[in-house]
Structure 1
Amino acid sequence: MKLFCKAGACSLSPHIVMRECGLDFTQVNVDLATKMTERGEDFRQINPKGQVPALQLSDGSVLTEGVAIVQYLADLKPDRHLLAPVGSMTRYHTLEWLSYISSELHKAFGPLFRRDASEADKTQARTLLEARFRFVDEALQNRQWLMGLHFSVADAYLFVVTRWAKALKLDLSDCDALETWFDRTAERPAVQAALKAEGLI
């Protein structure tokens, strides 16, 4: 398998999951500005959306969208308990978190990453994100992980967007549970390995 990614982008989430699963894969870095891979390939020929992540399977087929990719990967290695079995309410609550992180956190960062966004839009985005991270902080009270006792694909995704929040200096000063969770996540060997492989530490 090949994972097409960009250092620190949302593709870090499936990258972490692949390492948590102990899967054999090749990391291929993508320049999103030029849409070229480090191997000189036109990334749009691999993923017409031109966005990371993209997972190319051994048969040449390609799966895109991080939320779909992490579910696929977790189901390849059910013994790692990154996603509960089909039919379990725990699975659907994990998908609920993936959906929330994708739509309410990830996408809300848009104005903070766009050079053409107005200061008013950036201020609004910060206020909105800080409120939503406080909601996550409340959910993490007295919990080791989002789903309780097991690190899940949702934790991997939340780790990525929380890294962005810290890099952009969002005010998370009252989010003690989130801070403790973040430090715990950062210490996981698979997370450390993914960060190192992407040149982030």
Structure 2
Amino acid sequence: MTPILFYGIPSGCSFGSIVALEWLGEPYRLSRIQMPEVVQSDAFRRINPVGETPSLKTGDGRIISESLAIMNHLGARGIGKGLGFKQGTMEFDGLNQRLAYLNTSFFNAFSPLWYTLEHETLKPEEKQALRAYGAADVAKVHRELEMMLGKSPWLLGNERTLADAYFIGIARWTKYHDVVDRKDYPAVQALFERLENDPAVNFAHAIELGEDVKGAGGFAGHVSLEQALSEI
């Protein structure tokens, strides 16, 4: 069967997996999961007991959850396109290192900021403390990414990889949390702009907005959660 990616809206980190699938170019379908209502439902927990996106149903019916695991799965399929690398090589280790950093440090830096937006019962002083903590952490990871990039156009050097796909799904969160000016980090800003001009990234934006759009990859349409469950 054609794989299905379960992606979260609004603005889930699963955005990067959509970009990765477009770059890969193999047939896939999408299932739109509203957060937090549907993602925490009993129905979706049959896909991922943790109640988070993304999850990927592979062509042979297996379920893979967590962005890092999905990216590694897709990377193995995209070795010929330079999106991933053979396990045991220096390039594979470098990609894993970048993905792990994005999946932990970069992603988690935004967690306090999301918490302040999603919990209206917080006291003003609690929100202020969380926002200050998150702002400092987001600035820190931007400084680190700036050093990692150096003069390279992509996170692993001169060619794009799935690390760049995952990066753009998280980097766009700065528009919700006005705590850093990305222009203070020229290399990070240049990477962000380069990706925002990529057709696969534009496609993923349109998908999140619910637009009727055709990708340049292997997008084969949407399926409902109910239909996806019937295939498992």
Output the TM-score relative to the length of structure 2.
0.80
**Which of residues 27, 31, 46 in structure 2 aligns to 1:28?**
31
Distance 1:173 1:200 in 2: 30
Equivalent in the alignment of 1:109:
110
Distance 2:166 2:150 in 1: 19
Indicate if the aligned counterparts of 1:12 and 1:194 stay in contact, CA closer than 8 A.
Answer: yes
Equivalent in the alignment of 1:175:
185
Equivalent in the alignment of 1:4:
6
Equivalent in the alignment of 2:100:
99
Indicate if the aligned counterparts of 2:39 and 2:51 stay in contact, CA closer than 8 A.
Answer: no
What is the number of equivalent residue pairs in this alignment? Answer: 199
Indicate if the aligned counterparts of 1:2 and 1:56 stay in contact, CA closer than 8 A.
Answer: yes
> After superposition, what is the alpha-carbon deviation per residue over 1:103-125, rounded to whole angstroms, capped at 9, x for unaligned?
11102211111124632022111
Asked whether 1:56 is paired with 2:35, we answer: no
Indicate if the aligned counterparts of 1:74 and 1:80 stay in contact, CA closer than 8 A.
Answer: no
Q: 1:68 to 1:36 in 2, by over 3 A?
A: closer
Asked whether 1:88 is paired with 2:98, we answer: no
Distance 2:39 2:129 in 1: 33
Indicate if the aligned counterparts of 1:5 and 1:52 stay in contact, CA closer than 8 A.
Answer: yes
Indicate if the aligned counterparts of 1:11 and 1:52 stay in contact, CA closer than 8 A.
Answer: yes
Stretch moving more, 63-72 or 170-179: 170-179
State the AA in 2 paired with 1:143: S
Equivalent in the alignment of 1:138:
147
Distance 1:155 1:200 in 2: 24
Deviation at 1:36, TM superposition (A): 5.6
Deviation at 1:50, TM superposition (A): 0.7
Question: Aligned-residue CA RMSD in angstroms?
Answer: 2.0
**Which of residues 129, 147, 155 in structure 1 aligns to 2:138?**
129
Indicate if the aligned counterparts of 1:35 and 1:44 stay in contact, CA closer than 8 A.
Answer: no
State the AA in 1 paired with 2:143: R
Equivalent in the alignment of 1:150:
159
Stretch moving more, 70-79 or 45-54: 70-79
Deviation at 1:73, TM superposition (A): 0.9
Deviation at 1:183, TM superposition (A): 0.5
Distance 1:89 1:58 in 2: 29
Distance 1:95 1:160 in 2: 17
Q: 1:56 to 1:150 in 2, by over 3 A?
A: same
| Structure number with larger C-alpha Rg | 2
Distance 2:65 2:18 in 1: 13
Structure with bigger RCO (C-alpha 8 Å, 6+ apart): 2
State the AA in 2 paired with 1:134: R
Q: 1:96 to 1:36 in 2, by over 3 A?
A: closer
State the AA in 2 paired with 1:22: G
**Which of residues 18, 23, 33 in structure 1 aligns to 2:21?**
18
Asked whether 1:193 is paired with 2:203, we answer: yes
> After superposition, what is the alpha-carbon deviation per residue over 1:120-165, rounded to whole angstroms, capped at 9, x for unaligned?
0221111111121111012222111011111111111111121012
Q: Return 5+ residue gaps in structure 2 as ranges.
A: 212-232
Q: Return 5+ residue gaps in structure 1 as ranges.
A: none
Output the TM-score relative to the length of structure 1.
0.91
